[in-house]
Structure 1
Amino acid sequence: MKLKRFFWIAILSITTLIGVMMPGKIQAHTSSNTLFQTSTISALSVGIYEGNTNFQQLKKYGDFGLGTVNYLDGEMIGLDGKFYQVKADGVASIIPDAIASPFATVTFFKPEKLIRLAGQMNYQQFQESLDRRLTTKNHPYAIRIQGNFPYLKFRSVPKQSSPYRPLADALKEQSVFELRNVNGTLVGFRTPKYMEGVNVKGYHFHFLTANRKTGGHILDGQFQNAKVEIDTISNIEMNLPKTAEFDQADLGDGRPDVK
């Protein structure tokens, strides 16, 4: 526990130092194996739904990713350099550059490996099968899966108003959608367990249909002969919110109950 805490204190100290040296500036990094993140999942879990990193800035750090938008107004999917917002009504639309995000994870996606998972499996079996094919569980991975899915169950969340409730309470009002034999793309990451509290540990996927009309956060699904593209992440950069709410928040033990 002490080693884990020291590890993240070191990362946050470096992030803070960069912010002091270059106030108000975000420097673009084009490395395909760099993950950029704004805020933390533990901050989102306690109800910090306003950030000050906008999508114009996020595009400098990646063309692929997921997260949400300010006020927890739906799910965000970044694909092929475009960022989409899926609101609680299930409708997807392009996010204007000026809109900000309270939590997002992005990278420049350049797949280095293709993994084929034969047969049909549910979401849990898919994760277990993919885990067995990864060379290490100590690196984050960016993951893209394109094609036809026999069944997908996904959600979006409604826009929140201040004073903000914790994420677990906001999710009680989530909208849930189910589609069968649907074409589209799963955009996601696998995050090591030691990053719990900073990001969602394990697998985290958002979905966007091929026609870019709907999508959301994956809850369950069926996968048939999945072709999984993998980009291994070796660098992590963070931009923490410059808000009083973040500064004063009690982020607890860094173990949010988010699924």
Structure 2
Amino acid sequence: MAKLNCEISEHLQVALRERSKATGESIDRIVSNALARALEMPVHTLFQISTSGALVEGIYEKAVSSSLLLNYGDFGIGTFDNLDGEMVVLDGAIYQVRSNGTVTNIQDDTGTPFAVVVRFVADQDETIAKASSFEDLRSLCDKYRDSANLFYAVRVDGHFDHIHTRAMKATLDGLPLAQAAAIQPEFDFHDIDGTLVGIWAPEYSRSLNIAGYHFHFLSDDRTQGGHLLECSGKNLRVRVERLADFHLSLPESEEFLRADLTKDPSKDLAYAEQAHKKGDA
């Protein structure tokens, strides 16, 4: 990478050091991101809080506040303290889809143990004529990925014939993810307009993230949503961003520092991702 030499005020220098200490980011990264925003250039960086392996082991307490996420992205997914619902970050706002089906626009600081966000700038903008199932949608989206070794952000907007979601129910720290997922309420929506907010992660990242596609849904009126389990729709607008830069922020809690994260979380994650029982829509 190129080096930049310039003079800045002592006030800016102190502010840079304080921001770096507070966020854990290097000064180089802070300056690069600030310049990219000022020059209106895409950064194509995935910013992630904690790991999927930590979630599997029941580490659900706050790693960062929700407001911090918006410093690094305006599009993404995650969860909240104690798995209290599904997080959808869309158009620079954070929404919480709770297990009772309600959707709240989060205005105040709320803790998150796991989240991934990007500053969404699409490289591709396409239309899918028809997706008869979630599996079909995944296969169609595969056409817009040119590598199995990078991350991708995927946004799908349109009218859906059917959406099937879930929302995790708040639980105590330490309860394994597979057990928490077994009691997740599920919801069915029909003839609904909305957006799928998704991340595709490569197979080699499975100890850090959920390999493959991971989508959350949010309706246009911001009243319905959740983690996507199944869907179908026609004439869907698909926008994809290729992400070649990855930033991981790890918790410093005692639970995380002492956790055994050597186990492969894939089996438990796959169980948590699938449907278990239906709830009331």
Question: Fold match, TM over 0.5?
Answer: yes
Give the partner amino acid of 1:205: F
118-127 or 174-183: bigger deviation: 118-127
- For the pair 1:255 / 2:265, whether they are aligned, the reply is yes
Compute the RMSD of aligned alpha carbons: 1.8
Greater Rg, structure 1 or structure 2?
A: 2
**2:23 maps to which residue?**
25
Pick from 180, 205, 211: which aligns with 1:195? Answer: 205
Q: How does 1:77-226 map to 2 (within 5 A)?
A: 77-162=88-173, 164-226=174-236
Work out the number of aligned pairs and report it.
239
Give the partner amino acid of 1:181: D
Change in Cα spacing, 1:148 to 1:32, as seen in structure 2 (3 Å) is farther
Deviation for aligned residue 1:105: 0.1
**1:5 maps to which residue?**
none
Deviation for aligned residue 1:117: 2.3
Residues in 2 aligned to 1:225 and 1:121: alpha-carbon distance in whole angstroms:
11
Change in Cα spacing, 1:231 to 1:85, as seen in structure 2 (3 Å) is same
Residues in 1 aligned to 2:201 and 2:49: alpha-carbon distance in whole angstroms:
15
Give the partner amino acid of 1:112: D
Deviation for aligned residue 1:129: 2.2
Pick from 51, 55, 58: which aligns with 2:66? Answer: 55
Deviations 1:125-172 (Å, cap 9, x if unpaired)?
Answer: 11122213422222111111111001010000111124x311110011
Residues in 2 aligned to 1:223 and 1:32: alpha-carbon distance in whole angstroms:
31
TM-score (norm 1): 0.87
Q: Is the 8 A contact 1:61 1:106 kept in 2?
A: yes
Residues in 2 aligned to 1:120 and 1:100: alpha-carbon distance in whole angstroms:
35
199-208 or 221-230: bigger deviation: 221-230
**1:245 maps to which residue?**
255
Pick from 40, 51, 61: which aligns with 1:40? Answer: 51
Q: Secondary structure at the match of 2:72?
A: coil
Q: Is the 8 A contact 2:53 2:265 kept in 1?
A: yes
Deviation for aligned residue 1:44: 0.6
Residues in 1 aligned to 2:236 and 2:158: alpha-carbon distance in whole angstroms:
8
Q: Secondary structure at the match of 1:173?
A: coil
Deviation for aligned residue 1:255: 3.0
Identity among equivalent pairs (%): 35
Residues in 1 aligned to 2:230 and 2:63: alpha-carbon distance in whole angstroms:
32
Deviation for aligned residue 1:253: 3.0
Gaps of 5+ in 1: 1-18
TM-score (norm 2): 0.81
